[in-house]
């Protein structure tokens, strides 16, 4: 496996990571809430009509950000070459794993580790280990 340095975007990636960290920090300082996407969405669906303005605003920001980006810079062409059934199955497995792990990578990896949560540290280590193992198996077998 090789890294395509010609298309690498280290500064944009750094800025994106800083913005994610800033958003997570603002949410926890302003609302005392962790910026775990699965928890925010589940809370919105579970508590319809009950103090959900912040959840709606957060999710709307996630949906509107690429639209705003596209207006100014355009979006790259996306070509999907994988079978749709495989993509849907993979999405369902990710959703199942998110519920099984009591949160997603954003909640555990960004917010949980920042709070030094032992559960989040273990969950993130498991996420990363399985991801590395999957890449290794996919690449070499």
Could you tell me the CA-to-CA distances from 27 to 54, 56, 99 in Å, in that order?
9, 13, 22
For the chain, how far is it from start to end, CA to CA, in angstroms? 13
> How does DSSP classify residue 40?
H
- Number of other CB atoms surrounding residue 44 within 10 Å: 16
pLDDT tens per residue, range 4-46? 777 778 888 899 889 988 988 998 898 888 888 888 888 888 8
User: Can you tell me the mean pLDDT for 51-67?
Assistant: 89
pLDDT tens per residue, range 86-116? 999 988 988 888 888 888 877 888 888 888 9
pLDDT at 101: 81
| Extents of the domains making up the chain | 15-140
What does the alpha-carbon distance between residue 36 and residue 40 come to, in Å, rounded to a whole number? 6
């Amino acid at each position: 496996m090789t890294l395509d340095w010609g298309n690498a975007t280290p500064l944009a990636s750094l800025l994106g990571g800083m913005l994610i960290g800033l958003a997570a920090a603002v949410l926890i300082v302003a609302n005392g809430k962790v910026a775990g996407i699965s928890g925010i969405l589940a809370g919105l669906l579970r508590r319809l009509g009950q103090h959900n303005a912040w959840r709606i605003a957060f999710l709307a920001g996630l949906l509107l950000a690429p639209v705003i980006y596209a207006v100014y810079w355009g979006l790259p062409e996306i070509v999907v070459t994988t079978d749709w059934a495989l993509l849907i199955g993979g999405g369902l497995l990710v959703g199942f794993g998110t519920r099984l792990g009591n949160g997603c990578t954003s909640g555990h990896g960004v917010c949980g580790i920042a709070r030094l949560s032992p559960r989040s540290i273990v969950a993130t280590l498991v996420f990363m280990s399985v991801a590395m193992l999957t890449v290794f198996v996919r690449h070499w077998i």
